[in-house]
Structure formats: structure tokens, C-alpha cells
A = this chain, B = another copy of it.
């Protein structure tokens, strides 16, 4: 159904790659700091040699599923099962290359309509079959993983549910099926001169339903809002019922059920459609880049803008080490000092010019260095995950960890997590490099997004990753950071959720899960850790 085939083993389109060799200064920097050995590449295995356990569904079962979704709506090939059982986390990509291959679903279904989803859930409830909703497959927290291999699993890929259902131009609201991907949604909206303004890094592949299920944030979220600000209503089909919930315009009609569905990560049910706020397509875009003497100075400028109600639509403030990496990626060997802030604005032509002037004023502690760096960042904003594949080729552990906290705790958290990450990496006996940026700002606080690099430990790649991931997560939780700002809980963070939200809140979530999904068929192990 995708005209342009996707890689089974890495990020994005098969015909697109971004070799580290194309960024020689960055490559040299990493080789030097991480003490990489020469020419020691990690190969991509032959997909045809990967053996999966056979599907556990009988021909009778398959015939039943065929009745629900038709011949077009069912896939049981090894390749389909393999690609649907993993997301795009570092852990996923390493397992695809080195094994063990994660247990795959027994079947992939492609429903086309709400009624089909309902029938699938009914059937699966009766048979205790586990159901994993699948949007774009870009989860970096293990949101698509089979974690109860004792039970048969179906993965519900929503790609055929991609219709626009309603456009209310007067109210700037549109309703679409949840399986619609970013580019198709924007294409349909562009015909009405509208946009969602929601552009997460996974935009080219991820879906409306996936954005909502994982509480995603786009690059221009300071203008257009996080997905929770964008969604006005949705339909959640759960084993216990069909929930049409909405919260916009504002109302006072008891507790908010929409907030329960957002962030449910498939563990409550399947989000099949949503109504979202849209905006008239912006006339213009303007950029500026500001060099600060320190990360601290940049943070203070961002805080002032956020608290005065004028946050840059895109705000991307890098600390010294990330600035250094960014400069190297642009081909310069210059050493960075301090922090680099990239800002961008969208809107009427005159207004974005004024916005840039306002940003310069608030950033008087730094020096404006022109649109260039911000504009380049914007043009290359979907490239990062392609580069990660090349880093894995070069046996580099590269991953990210993101969190958020209040301004009064931000620098303390930043220092503590950076320290914990480096200590975690050093603890595995290798050198590391850690950069950090702020990309979402609020009146009360901001996000922190760490990108870290280490030399892979051959033969212990997953154990090494576990050690580093534990170190950073402990560093975050022990210093008042959120478990995640916008990647979600999934399997990766599920074991920490109870600690993060408290015993009573955690029990309430478990109880909600039992109410919505009494037999526990929906995406087990995600959000709610098994037996935690």
C-alpha cells in the first residue's frame, strides 16, 4: 500500500540513507572522542535468513479474520510479522541486526472501518488473543512489542483507515481516520489551505492515532500546541465499548475522558478517528540563530519569552556539547563555546518579521548570527534517524532520553542527568559524548532532550544499552524530571511508571485498564508493567 518501500531494518525509506561519511567533521569528532576502531562495520543481516516461529492461528482462525477484514486486510508473511513486531528504538534496531529477534505477532490485520475494529476486538476478547494497535511503527519506547508470547497476538495496522471524514472550515476543525499519516493529512488539508502545524520528527511515517496515543509534540508546538492541545475529540474503540469523547470547545460536564484516551498507547483500545484543530496555512516563515556564551544565558532568554507569552514557535537551544556536534555536522571544525539557539516563526509575512525582532530583543545576552543555522536545521529536521542507522553501522550506541521539569529545577536536572549518563556510559567501560537541547518551553518549565553516543561493546550491545538506559532514567527520576516529555511509556519506561506517578495513581490507572479492557488483551505490557 506504501508506494515507496520502507527499510525493514532501519529508519525510513529503503532508497534513502545518510552515511556518517557524508559528515566527515562529525565522523572525525566521534571517532576521536569515542575512540572508535577503524573499519569495523556492523552488517545488516539477510532478511530471508531470519526464521520466525510459525503463526499460531489455525486456518479456521485465519478464515474468521478474513471474514472481518477481507483478503486485502490480512498479512501473515514472515516479513510482515517481523516488521510489525518492532518499533524504531535503538534496542529494536540492534536486535534486528544482532538478535535476538523480538517475538513477532502471529498475524497482521489492516482494518478499513470502525465496525471491523470492533469485530476484531470482540473476537480477540473471546479467544484471549492480544491486540497491538500499529500506526506508523516509529515508537522508540517499545510500544509495538509482543511481551506475552504465551498468547497469540494480532497487530492492527491502521494504514487503510486514512480517510478525511469532515472539514469544518468555519470552526477550523477536521475529522479524519486515525491511520492517516502526516504527509497525506497535510496534503488533504493543503487543498483547503489548512495545516495541523504538528510536525514531530517522525512526521513522514507516524499517524494521527499514533500521535494521540503517545502524546506527541511537534517542532512548532509553541505555536500550534502539543497533540493534546490540537485534539478536540476522538473515538476510542475498547473491548468494553465505543467512546466518543471530546473536550472542545471548553465545557464543564464532569471529568475529562479525552485526557484518558490521549497517552493510552493502545493499552485501553484503538483510537480510530479524531477531530483536530487546524490552522490556516501560514503565509511565511522566518528564522534566526543566536549564539549565547552559555546554555544558562539561553535558558534565561527562553524562560523570559515563555513567561511573557511570546515563546518562539520553534525554539531549539543546544548546550555546548550539542552545539559542537551540530557545528561538526555542518562541516566546520570550529569549537563551540556556549549554547546555540535556533528559532523559527510561522504566520503573516509582517508578523514573522516582527517576531524575529522580538526574539532578538529578548536574546540580547547573545549574538544573532543570522537565519542560516536555524533554516538548515529546519530543512534537515527529519534526517536525524537516518544518520543514527549509519552510526549503528559504525558500532556507535546512539540514543536519546527526554524529560521536562519546572524552570526552578531545570539546570539542576540538566547537570544531574548529564552526569548520570556519562557515569552510566563510563560504567560500561567506554567513552561517551552527551549533548542536550531544549525544544519545548512553557511558562512553568521546559523539556530537556539528551542525545548520547558511546562505542558499542561488542557481544554485549544490549546489556550495555540496558546499563546506560537505567542510568539515565534513574538520573531523571532522582532529580525531579518527568519519565518522558513526548516519547511515551511503552515497554521501555513501564517499570518506572509506578514510582513516577505514585502508588495510588498507579492503582487507579490499573483499575481503569481493567474496566476498559477486562481481559487484558490490549497492548499488554505497555504503560502498565506486567506484575509491577
Which of A's residues lie within 8 Å of B, judged by CB?
A: 168, 170-173, 214-217, 226, 228, 232, 240-245, 248-265, 268, 277, 279-280, 303, 307, 404-409, 440, 442-447, 482-489, 493, 497, 500-505, 507-509, 511-512, 515-516, 527
Contacts and interface: CB of A to CB of B under 8 A. Distances in A.
A252 to B, nearest CB: 4
B173 A444 contact: yes
B507 A252 contact: no
9 contacts: A171-B409, A244-B505, A248-B444, A249-B440, A253-B482, A253-B493, A254-B527, A256-B260, A512-B515
Number of identical monomers bound together in the oligomeric complex: 2
Contact of A483 (B251, B407, B505): B251
A268 B255 contact: yes
Given A171-B406, A508-B257, A445 B263 contact: no
A502 B244 contact: yes
Contact of A254 (B240, B251, B263): B263
Contacts of A409: 171
A21 to B, nearest CB: 34
A214 B252 CA distance: 7
B508 A444 contact: no
For the complex of A and B, the 6 pairs showing the least CB-CB separation, nearest first, are A241-B504, A259-B259, A256-B259, A249-B445, A215-B252, A171-B406
Given A249-B404, A249-B444, A249-B485, 18 more contacts: A168-B406, A170-B407, A170-B408, A171-B445, A214-B252, A217-B252, A240-B504, A241-B508, A252-B482, A254-B265, A255-B260, A255-B261, A255-B262, A255-B263, A255-B509, A257-B509, A258-B259, A277-B444
Contacts of A511: 515
A443 B512 contact: no
Contact of A248 (B445, B488, B489, B502): B445
Nearest to A493: B253
Contact of A243 (B442, B445, B489, B508): B508
- Which of A443, A447, A487, A488 is the most central at the interface, judged by chain B CB atoms within 10 Å of its CB? A443
A407 B171 CA distance: 5
A447 B252 CA distance: 11
Contacts of A170: 303, 406-408
Given A259-B258, A444-B277, A252 B485 contact: yes
